[in-house]
Chains A and B, each alone.
Chain A
């Protein structure tokens, strides 16, 4: 820009500074204006210099500054205001026109839809937040529970042709169906005489102490007979698996390690093949390592080793402990194999009647065997979560419906501007998809968190728990269902809006119709009904859990430390000495051992023989549970003496053995009589566990089959009568917190047994806590679902009543103008809310009675129709209904009659 004219032939330094400062003006400032400004300044500058030289120029610039700053600020403010006005105008134009210009490409218009939908949702952030939050909860909870169900119940086992792998179940008339525990000889007979399976194997599990590289460690061992890896159809990572040849007593004792065991003991050293480890004091050669993904779903398994029966032991028929597992031949069916099993069982019932009275066998798939116990609970959770999804869908439908109706006017304007009907509908669809996507994304986080919590809580009680992963199919499916619900219901008002005569709707404004109110009320009633059903389920589970915790355990659970140790091969004396060491620890009041902790299961079992009541020949005696304990076990744990006396150190094989029984056993065999002095023997003829021993005492029952099960008849054998028992749990009664003495106890036990490993160090309270973990988790999950459902339903009631109040503002205004008291108006609105809640209550109660029946198996001490539970949840629902009506009701009383009449 060359200066023209004579005023300023060349801009001075100060002029240039001024020009630079002008660049601070906003870009909207016209260039011509800036030029004029500069020109005037140049003239002023030149004049000042002419009169006063360069200080004059500086002075002129200094004088110029305040005005310039003011100008710059002013111009920026004006530019910002202008921009905002323009933006608003553009948006307004865009919202009516842009999505409907027909000359745009598919993708472009789709992007427009998405952008517009995002904007529309942002504009109504509370709607979007509620919709996304409930969707995320519904989707996340469903995905988590379905992932559990899928991983545990549905997904095939990680073996070759999983549907061909079967186990054998026992269906004795006197006992519930259970996994058949076979004797070695029965196993041999069944293997020889069945044709429907190609591989036939058996296994048992135990705790094994492994001394390999360093400290002795405890592992879950699977002892096998037959080609168990052939049955499973799995290959080793390297080395080989066990084969039937390993079963020969002459073969070198072999062991196969799981991937985790291998890593833990040897790092990732592949040269372990051929190396020797000591398992339960027996050297074994490592022959193979299994791949990392392999899980022996039937039982926890860190290592596998063959039984290697002697021919004598292979003929044994009184040791019942083998689980059979077999692979069906191609073409063979479970039914055919079952028939073959029953044929063999029939023969065994006659040929070896004394061992096999009432032997009835049938085959089931391995998967069924593993998961059948947890199925009712998982299906109940699945049902609960499905209800949650239902309520989520209804809620979304309700929200979409409300929104679509309040946008009648908008749709009509668009139609008037020439938008195709399909385009309006598509717009709504896009919004729903966007919501579902957002809900799905948040739902993934919710689901992952919930799943982590479930797995952590269920680690001990759920089979296949390490096979559970968050299921993308479940996530997608639930998101799809919620989405479809939202779309389906949102479409109705959209269609209506898009067909309505535009001007009418525009004139009508945002007031909705009566049909709208009825539809939304119906949806809310559904929400309330479903919420009540979840609530009654949660209530029943809560009551049931309360009953469970209130069960009298029959012993003192506090300040009791427990830990498990495999002492196989050590003398009874060594165990007794270790107990002496423990008692010497300060803070330890008493120490004892038991073969099985109370409340943790039946433990060992054996045939129960009463010497003066012999079992008729050709009949199998009943089987009863037994526990091997140190004499002071009862005093240590706090089990009460009912009659007779406790065991003493003098009750031993060589010095007059004695046993103690619990009340359940006394009642079963000597109802109304005194069992003291009766002689009993456990085991089979020729293989008794104990010499004939008198019952010297009767002790109180403990709920050993779990708090929700009746006590199990049990015989307590003193350790000195059963010196062969290999694994004991130490129970240590402390005077202070049990945790305080744990290090000292570990130290003393390690000093007493340098080559055995300690595991499962737990307080008795934590053992009990774990034993009710599944019930607790079920209760918490269903409870949480119920709360979400209740809140959602309350929001629904609130929404509908707010809508009703808004819609009837004029009517309410007239009523108030005619003298209705605010109390009357409030009562009217609350009564409507009460009506909704009552309708939901009635439907929900009917539904609950139908549904809670299905979970009766999961309840303990509470009937599925427990009146107290139903009364409480009904009260809660009605209360929530009235509470949710309160705010709209108050709003109704504040209606200004004049304003109401003046408004449209």
Chain B
């Protein structure tokens, strides 16, 4: 495949991919849960459909940023068709690289006083 496995290679990441990676920081998740989590965290700003999620997941699997895992203990209501995904170290590095990139960008905006100083800004909903 032509896509590189290197964490820096995909930067900047698409919003969907970045959000998937962010969601997986909390732990393994299946597809539908990913969609719901992202929607919840972004206040319906990013709503994945089944196809877009699938396409993104496939790309992430392809470059090795996430991997498919068996759930350690099948949660209640487990469905055979569900597949669980876990972020790899590579994925974590990629997400971090993207976050740093975004931070650099906001720093620049701040330097130019486009944004206020980073002091008392309330944390965005759903992030840590």
Of B47, B50, B55, which is within 8 A of A41 by CB? B50
CB-CB < 8 A to A173: which residues of B?
none
Are B54 and A44 closer than 8 Å at their CB atoms?
no
Stretch from A3-11, A225-233, A369-377 contacting the other chain: A3-11
A7 and B55 form a contact (CB under 8 A)? no
Does B77 contact A5, Cβ atoms closer than 8 Å? yes
Given contacts A5-B79, A36-B83, A39-B81, contact A71 B51 (CB under 8 A): yes
Of the listed residues B50, B54, B55, B58, the one surrounded by the most CB atoms of chain A closer than 10 A to its CB is B50
Per-residue interface assignment for chain A, residues 60 to 90, with 1 indicating a CB less than 8 Å from any chain B CB and 0 otherwise: 1001100110110010000000000000000
Residue of A nearest to B32 (CB): A43
- Interface residue count for A (Cβ, 8 Å)? 23
Q: Which residues of A contact B79 (CB under 8 A)?
A: 4-5, 7, 39
Collect the chain B residues with CB atoms within 8 Å of residue A40's CB: 31-32, 35, 50, 53-54
Q: Are A33 and B49 interface neighbours, CB within 8 A? A: no
A5 touches B54 (CB 8 A): no
Known: A36-B31, A74-B55. A44 touches B82 (CB 8 A): no
Closest to A62 in B: B49
Q: Number of contacting residues on B, CB 8 A? A: 19
B14 within 8 A of A: no
Contact with A71, one of B31, B32, B55 (Cβ below 8 angstroms)? B55
Contact yes or no, B78 A5, CB < 8 A: yes
Query: Per-position contact with B for A715-755: 1 when CB-CB < 8 Å, else 0?
Result: 00000000000000000000000000000000000000000
Contact indicator A67/B49 (Cβ below 8 Å): yes
Judge whether A37 is part of the interface by a CB distance below 8 angstroms: yes
Question: Which residues on the A side are within 8 Å of B32 (C-beta)?
Answer: 7, 39-40, 43-44
Q: Is the CB–CB distance between B77 and A6 below 8 Å?
A: yes
Contact at B77–A37, with CB atoms within 8 Å? no
Question: Does B52 belong to the interface (CB within 8 Å)?
Answer: yes
Please name all residues of chain A whose beta carbon is closer than 8 Å to the beta carbon of B53 when the two chains form the complex.
Answer: 40
> Is B80 part of the binding interface, using a Cβ–Cβ cutoff of 8 Å?
yes
Q: Are A36 and B51 in contact (CB under 8 A)?
A: no
A window 27-71: CB within 8 A of B: 33, 35-41, 43-44, 60, 63-64, 67-68, 70-71
8 Å CB contacts to A: which residues of B68-106? 77-83
| Contacting pair B78 A67 (CB below 8 A) | no
Complex contact A36–B49 (CB within 8 A):
no
Distance in Å: Cβ of A47 to nearest Cβ of chain B: 8
A70: chain B residues at CB < 8 Å are 51-52, 55
Q: Take A40-B31, A40-B32 as given contacts and tell me if A67 and B51 are in contact as well, using a CB distance cutoff of 8 Å.
A: yes
Q: Is the CB of B81 within 8 A of A64?
A: no
Task: List B residues 14-48 near A (Cβ within 8 Å).
Answer: 31-32, 35, 47
Contact B83 A44 (CB under 8 A): no
For the complex formed, measure the closest distance between the CB of A16 and the CB atoms of chain B, giving whole angstroms.
Answer: 14
B83 neighbours in A (Cβ, 8 Å): 36
Give chain A nearest CB distance to B120 CB in angstroms: 36
Q: Are A63 and B78 in contact (CB under 8 A)?
A: no
Provided the pairs A5-B78, A39-B32, A44-B32 are in contact, do residues A63 and B49 lie with their beta carbons within 8 angstroms? yes
What B residues does A18 contact at CB under 8 A?
50
Task: Select which of B47, B51, B78, B80 is within 8 A of A37 by beta carbon.
Answer: B51
**Could you tell me if B35 and A37 are in contact, using CB atoms closer than 8 angstroms?**
no
Partner of A67, one of B52, B58, B81: B52
Residues of chain A in range 760-804 having any CB-CB distance to chain B below 8 Å: none
Contact B54 A33 (CB under 8 A): yes
Extra 4 A-B pairs, beta carbons < 8 Å, given A4-B79, A36-B31, A64-B50? A7-B79, A35-B81, A38-B50, A70-B52
Which 6 pairs from chain A and chain B are nearest by CB?
A: A67-B51, A39-B81, A41-B50, A67-B52, A43-B32, A5-B79
Can you name 9 A-B pairs with beta carbons within 8 Å? Answer: A4-B81, A5-B78, A33-B58, A40-B31, A40-B32, A44-B35, A60-B49, A70-B51, A70-B55
